[in-house]
Amino acid sequence: MRAAGRLWARRAATAAALALLAGCSGGGGGDGRAGGDAAPPVSRAQLALRPGDGAQDVPVDAPVRVEAAGGRLLTVRLADDRGAPVPGTLSADRTAWTADHRLATATAYTLDAVAEDAGGLRAVQHAGFTTVAPEHTFVGFFTPEDGSTVGVGMPVSLRFSHPIADRAAVERAVAVVSDPPLEIAPHWFGDQRLDFRPREYWPSGTRVTLLLRLKDVEGAPGYLGTQDKDVHFTVGRSLVAAVDLDAHTMTVRRDGRVLRTLPVSGGGPEHSTYLGTMVVSERFEVTRMNSRTVGLGDEYDIKDVPHALRLTASGTFVHGNYWTDPAVFGAANTSHGCIGLPDAKGGSDDSPAGWLYRHTAVGDVVEVRGSRGERVAPDNGLSDWNLDWARWRAGGAVH
């Protein structure tokens, strides 16, 4: 029913039915109108809704209010375009109602109110309106992807498109839950990255859900989030590769059982390989490696590096190597910091590097130890596991 109308269908229908019965009875007299011209009673209750029907670009902090004059409110319902109700507060004398929460941006709302006068006659009014789109927004780019299956070392990582000033507000709007349930804690790396992980590697078979409730959260002055999304992923089998740089070996274990020990060559004396726990973040059957991209000048430019597994954002890979003397694998560390395994030009599935590539997924773990080299920074790639649990939990904004 539109806002201008306050006629009640039930009363009008009853009156029409009585008139019809009178006209069909064949009874005598009268002018044949049988009282049909009599106007039905109108409620004395007057409703005022704000914002009004058809309003556009309504500010999200604009008050939403319903007032009744000459009567009292019976019901008020404010709902968004998905039908979700917005709670409100009714005054003690039932003549006013006010929404309890600010509105969402770029959202259509409906507002419906029913009032009753002293004689029991009801009035209804409807308003539909839309809110303004935010001028400045931010989003969180998430890893891993929705629906993926990952290794046991995969943290949940969010990178925000704008620096976050109110980390606590953003952190409260994000949750990571698992089945079976685990204690999962957040940690901030600067003002644009928020990661989540459990105390230890995920158990195989764990189902994990990232709940993003960032829509209209003010992450920085004037910047509102836009996401209301659930992301699901599954943890697959456990695969952990332990690299011993001193012994020049990689021991690969799946679900705790040794699958194979492979010969490797790590970083040489001038470019030692990072120590610590790293996680595979990307896989490339073939990729180009140029020393200029990692600040090493013109030392190398190899356009067809086979079977490459990225470990750090700074450029550490496990990869196949066909250009080095095969005798160094298992015997010496000669690389510029990567971990090399024997391979053939173009990549051979039967090589140690090809075998490792086939068995490795994003999220699998590479643990590197040795007598020399720097420990990898926890924010270099997905190296979150290099912080102990106490320091990890201390990096959250909400305690």
Q: How far apart are CA 109 and CA 319, in angstroms?
A: 55
Handedness of CA 198, 202, 205, 209 (dihedral sign): positive
For residues 296 and 77, give the distance between their C-alpha atoms in angstroms, rounded to a whole number: 65
Tell me, yes or no, if 319 is annotated catalytic: yes
- What is the distance between the terminal CA atoms of the chain, rounded to a whole angstrom? 50
Q: For residues 209 and 178, give the distance between their C-alpha atoms in angstroms, rounded to a whole number.
A: 6
- Residue 94: both structure tokens together: 């039932």
Spatial distance between the Cα atoms of 278 and 363, rounded to a whole number of angstroms: 9
- Active-site pick, 319, 336, 359, 399: 319
3-state secondary structure at position 275: strand
- Six-digit token pair at 332? 């010496």
Cβ-contact 180, 186 below 8 angstroms: no
Catalytic residue among 248, 307, 336, 338: 338
* Cα 296 from Cα 294, distance rounded (Å): 6
Return the bridge partners of 234, or none. 149, 207
Query: Look-up: residue for tokens 């959202």?
Result: 107
Query: Is the N-terminal amide bond of 144 cis, ω within 30° of 0?
Result: yes
24 as an active site residue: the answer is no
Residues belonging to the active site: 319, 338
